[in-house]
A and B are shown apart, each in its own frame.
Chain A
C-alpha cells in the first residue's frame, strides 16, 4: 500500500511536469474554453428567448456545459500519453522495475483529474467575468470542480484502456471523434432538456456527461443539493468502473506483450 501511494505520487509528479513543459497544451487549455464561451455565448445568445428554455441568460446556462465538455475532451485524449510511453520504451523500462502496476494507471487518472480541475477553474472564472452568476457560492463552485474531476477520471481511464488494447493512435482518434460530440450534444450542455426530442432525452439519461452537466447547473444555482450529491456518487461509480476496465486492459496488455 505504501509502495502504491509513493509510486503514484512520483508518477503523478512526472505527468504534471510533462504537461507544464508542453506550452501548446497550456495555450490550448486556456484559449479553447474562452473561444467556446465567447463564440457560443454570442451565437446562441437569443436561444434563451425560446419559450420553455427557462434560463436567465445563455452564458449562465452555457458555463457549466463548457466546463463539463472540456472535462470530457481534456481527459479523452489521455490515452495518447500512454501510447507515447509504449512507443518510447518508457513503459517497458518501468515494467521491468518493481513499480506498483496499479500506480501506473492511477497516476494517469489522477493527472487527468488535476488538469481538468485547473481547466474548470479557468472556465468558471471566465464565465463569471462574462456575466454568469453562482448563487450556489463556494460549495457550488467546489461541487462543479468535483464533478468535472470525476468525469475526467472516468474518461481518461477509458481512454487509457482503449489505448492499451488497440495500441494505435488512429483508433483512439477515430473513437474520440466518433463519440465525443454525440456525448456532448446528447446532453443539456447547449440545449435545455425540455426542448430536446424525446429519444435524445432518453439517451441523455444514460450519459454521464449529461449527469454532470445537469448537476453542475444545480450546484451553480445552489438549490437542489440532494440531486448534486446523488450525481457525485453516480459519477464516482462511473469513474470506478472505468478504472476497473482500464486495469483489465492493462493486464491484457502485459499478458500479450
Chain B
C-alpha cells in the first residue's frame, strides 16, 4: 500500500520535474522521408537543452512535433505537463516557439506584431501594453517599434522573433537555430538573457544550433542527433570526457588521403579523419604521439607543414559520433 502510494508520488514528481518527456517519437513525411526515428529524451524543468546535428538530421521536425505543428507518426511526448496529441491547446498555451525561419508579419510594425501575438496567446488585455513595451526594451527594438518590419534588418527581425516567443511568459521555450544570422554581440546577449530567464523563472529551453561554442557554453545538457536518431546525450563535459585522448591535426596538403591511410596503421592511433588538407588523429597521449606520427608520414614521403595538438572539443565529440566534422557541415 505504502509502496504503491510512493510510486504514484514519484510519477507526479516526475511530471513536474521533467518539462519535456519524449518517448520514441518518430516522423515519416508523406513523401516517405523518415525524418525522426525513435527519439527518446527527458528534459528537466529549468534546463537549457541543446539539440545538435547535421543538416537534415531531424532537429526542426522534432521541434515541430513538440510544438504541435506536425503530428508524429509514432511515439509521443509531454510538454509542460500536457500531451502533444491529447491536449495540443494546453501545450500551445504554455510554450514559446521561435521557428528556424522568421515568422513575423512584415506589413506590421514591431509593436503591432508583439501586441497581436500577445492577444493570440491570451495575455490579459490590461497587461498587453506593458508587456509589449518591456519586451521591446529587452530586445533593444524600442527605437524601431513603430516601423514596419519590412524595413528591419535580418538581426532585428530575429530579435523580434525572440520577443514574440516570450510574450506569454512560457514555461518551456523552443528555439530553432535562434542565433543564425545574429551578430556576435547579440548572440552573447541572448545567451546571458536565456541564462538569466532560467535562473529567475526556471524557464526550460530546447535549443537547436549549428554553433558548437554556443552549445558548449549555454547548454546544461545536449543530444547529438543524426539521421533522426539520438546518437549521444549528456552534459558537454561528460561528452568530452567520453572521448579518450588528445587530437593531433596535421596539415599535409594534397597527400591527405594517403596520410589518413598511413596514420591508421600507426600504433596508438584511435581514430583518423580527413578534413580538407588536414588529417586529424585521435591518440592516447598527444605529446608522445606527435613525433611518432610526423616521422611515420615523413618516412613515407608525406611532408607535414604544420601540426597542432589539442584536448577533445565538442567538435571532436561530434566527429566521433557522426563521422563528419561539424564546422565543415555547418559551412556547407
Question: Could you tell me if A14 and B116 are in contact, using CB atoms closer than 8 angstroms?
Answer: yes
B111 contacts the other chain (CB 8 A): no
Question: Could you tell me if A97 and B103 are in contact, using CB atoms closer than 8 angstroms?
Answer: no
Number of interface residues of B (CB under 8 A): 30
The answer for the CA separation of A184 and B86 in the assembled complex, in Å, is: 47
Binary CB contact string for chain B from 71 to 112 against chain A (1 if under 8 A, 0 otherwise): 100000000000000000100110101010111111110001
Chain B hits for A96, CB < 8 A: 67-69, 92, 95, 97, 99
Cβ < 8 Å to A, chain B residues 5-59:
30
The smallest beta-carbon distance between B235 and chain A, in angstroms, is 29
Chain B hits for A89, CB < 8 A: 99, 101-103
Q: Contacts A88-B103, A96-B92, A98-B93 hold; do A256 and B30 have CB atoms under 8 A apart?
A: yes
Nearest residue (CB) in A for B106 is A88
Question: Could you tell me if B119 and A10 are in contact, using CB atoms closer than 8 angstroms?
Answer: yes
B117 contacts the other chain (CB 8 A): yes
The smallest beta-carbon distance between A111 and chain B, in angstroms, is 13
Question: Could you tell me if A6 and B71 are in contact, using CB atoms closer than 8 angstroms?
Answer: no
Q: Contacts A94-B120, A256-B30 hold; do A17 and B97 have CB atoms under 8 A apart?
A: no
The answer for the CA separation of A3 and B69 in the assembled complex, in Å, is: 20
Q: Which of B89, B95, B103, B117 has the most CB of A within 10 A?
A: B103
Contact of B99 among A93, A97, A255 (CB under 8 A): A93
A95 contacts the other chain (CB 8 A): yes
Cβ < 8 Å to A, chain B residues 104-158:
104-108, 112, 116-117, 119-122, 148
Chain A hits for B99, CB < 8 A: 89, 92-93, 96
Question: Could you tell me if B120 and A7 are in contact, using CB atoms closer than 8 angstroms?
Answer: yes
Chain B hits for A93, CB < 8 A: 97, 99, 103-104, 117, 164
Question: Could you tell me if A98 and B108 are in contact, using CB atoms closer than 8 angstroms?
Answer: no
Chain B hits for A17, CB < 8 A: 107-108, 112
Question: Could you tell me if B97 and A98 are in contact, using CB atoms closer than 8 angstroms?
Answer: no
A99 contacts the other chain (CB 8 A): yes
Question: Could you tell me if B119 and A6 are in contact, using CB atoms closer than 8 angstroms?
Answer: yes
The answer for the CA separation of A208 and B153 in the assembled complex, in Å, is: 46
A46 contacts the other chain (CB 8 A): no
The answer for the CA separation of A12 and B185 in the assembled complex, in Å, is: 38
B285 contacts the other chain (CB 8 A): no
Taking chain A's interface residues, is the majority helix, strand, or loop, or is none over half, making it mixed?
Answer: helix
The answer for the CA separation of A255 and B88 in the assembled complex, in Å, is: 13
Question: Could you tell me if A21 and B148 are in contact, using CB atoms closer than 8 angstroms?
Answer: yes
Inter-chain contact total with CB atoms closer than 8 Å = 68
Question: Could you tell me if B119 and A7 are in contact, using CB atoms closer than 8 angstroms?
Answer: yes
Q: Which of B68, B108, B116, B121 has the most CB of A within 10 A?
A: B116
Chain B hits for A10, CB < 8 A: 116, 119-120
Chain A hits for B103, CB < 8 A: 88-90, 92-93
The answer for the CA separation of A11 and B120 in the assembled complex, in Å, is: 9
The smallest beta-carbon distance between B117 and chain A, in angstroms, is 7
Question: Could you tell me if A98 and B121 are in contact, using CB atoms closer than 8 angstroms?
Answer: yes
Chain B hits for A7, CB < 8 A: 119-120
Question: Could you tell me if A92 and B69 are in contact, using CB atoms closer than 8 angstroms?
Answer: yes
Contact of A97 among B101, B112, B120 (CB under 8 A): B120
Contact of B121 among A6, A97, A255 (CB under 8 A): A97
Chain B hits for A98, CB < 8 A: 89, 92-93, 120-122
Question: Could you tell me if A22 and B107 are in contact, using CB atoms closer than 8 angstroms?
Answer: yes
Question: Could you tell me if B69 and A257 are in contact, using CB atoms closer than 8 angstroms?
Answer: yes
Cβ < 8 Å to B, chain A residues 99-144:
99
The answer for the CA separation of A53 and B237 in the assembled complex, in Å, is: 88
The smallest beta-carbon distance between A95 and chain B, in angstroms, is 6
Chain A hits for B95, CB < 8 A: 96
The smallest beta-carbon distance between A256 and chain B, in angstroms, is 6
Chain A hits for B102, CB < 8 A: 88-89
The smallest beta-carbon distance between A186 and chain B, in angstroms, is 36
B70 contacts the other chain (CB 8 A): yes
The answer for the CA separation of A99 and B119 in the assembled complex, in Å, is: 9
Chain A hits for B106, CB < 8 A: 88
Q: Which of B101, B104, B119 has the most CB of A within 10 A?
A: B119
The answer for the CA separation of A94 and B120 in the assembled complex, in Å, is: 8
Binary CB contact string for chain A from 70 to 89 against chain B (1 if under 8 A, 0 otherwise): 00000000000000000011
A-B pairs, top 4 by smallest CB distance, nearest first, are A93-B103, A89-B103, A18-B107, A99-B120
Binding site for B on A (CB under 8 A): 3, 6-7, 10-11, 14, 17-18, 21-22, 88-90, 92-99, 255-257
Q: A90-B104, A93-B164 are in contact. List 8 more A-B contacts (CB 8 A).
A: A14-B116, A17-B108, A21-B107, A88-B102, A94-B120, A95-B69, A96-B69, A96-B95
